[in-house]
Amino acid sequence: PGDNYLRYKALDRKYALWVVYAAPEFDVNLKSWWYPIAGRFTSRGWFSETSARKYANNLKREGLDVHVGGAPAYSTLGWFDDPVLSTFIEHSKTDLAELIFHELAHRRLFIADDATFNESFATATARAGVVRWLQSKSDAEGVNRYRLEYKRVNVFVELVLKTRKTLKGLYKVKLEPDVMRKRKADVLQELKAKILQLHSKDPEYIGLARWAKRPINNANLAAIAVYYRQVSAFERLLANHADDIHKYFSEVELISSLSKEDRIKKMLS
């Protein structure tokens, strides 16, 4: 990792970035923005929460579904050595390791114009990194606890992806806006109910239960999909190489050289 995470930087804010996501009211796909070098992104980041929320409110006035989320870290993608930030230093050791592995994965591989590939790769790679890190410490209990934690996340993500699929089908139907709005609200309410039901059976779903009690729309569902939609595909790639991380990286690099359309086909095959 070079000289990454060898320096400490104190920030005078809660998060390193506030990230704005937006999607049309009746469309599951995110609005995108073009950036020099990095290419097209399906989010827009701000160092100021006030600026982020002001921008989000302007998008809301345009009739878009909007989500603003705080990010404790970000990667400069190899342009600079990334420091340890005050915004994530108080994370648990496991969460901190996952975050750092995630950001380092972006430095290992990043494709302009394919946020889902980038973030899903980083999420899957970070999970593998945490397991290896815990195993290197002979922390079998920690490994089991961590795997249970991300299995819960997988259950949640599966519900979100199924909901997006339902909404995608709904939005193809020609309906009056008020009728469509009501149908959409019913679908989102069903998702909330399923998540709260999970929490009623397993108290460890408390964080997701809190999420379900907040407003849900196309934007925050799509943001979750960006980070998780292809994670299972990357995990299969790693398993296919008997958890050999170097062979895994080599195949991911080959896939990254494909056109976006062919990449998606490969990841979904």
Is the pLDDT reported for residue 74 higher than 60?
Answer: yes
Kindly report the average pLDDT of the chain as a whole number.
94
- For 40-51, the pLDDT digits (tens) are 889 999 999 999
Q: pTM value?
A: 0.92
Report CA Rg, the chain.
Answer: 19
Which helix (H) or strand (E) segment is 39 a member of? strand 39-41
Tally of residues, the chain: 269
Nearest CA-CA partner of 105 in 86, 128, 89: 128
Domain residue ranges of the chain, discontinuous segments joined by +: 17-268
Instruction: Please choose, from the candidates 124, 160, 125, 130, the residue with its C-alpha nearest in 3D space to the C-alpha of residue 144.
Output: 130
Q: How far apart are the first and last CA of the chain?
A: 32
**How does residue 82 score in pLDDT terms, banded at 50, 70 and 90?**
confident
Residue 254 in this model has a pLDDT that exceeds 90: yes
pLDDT the model gives residue 60: 98
Give 1's pLDDT tier (boundaries 50, 70, 90): low
Phi, psi of 52 (to 5 degrees): -65, -45
Helix (H, G, I), strand (E, B) or coil at 71: strand
Q: How many CB atoms lie within 10 A of CB 197?
A: 13
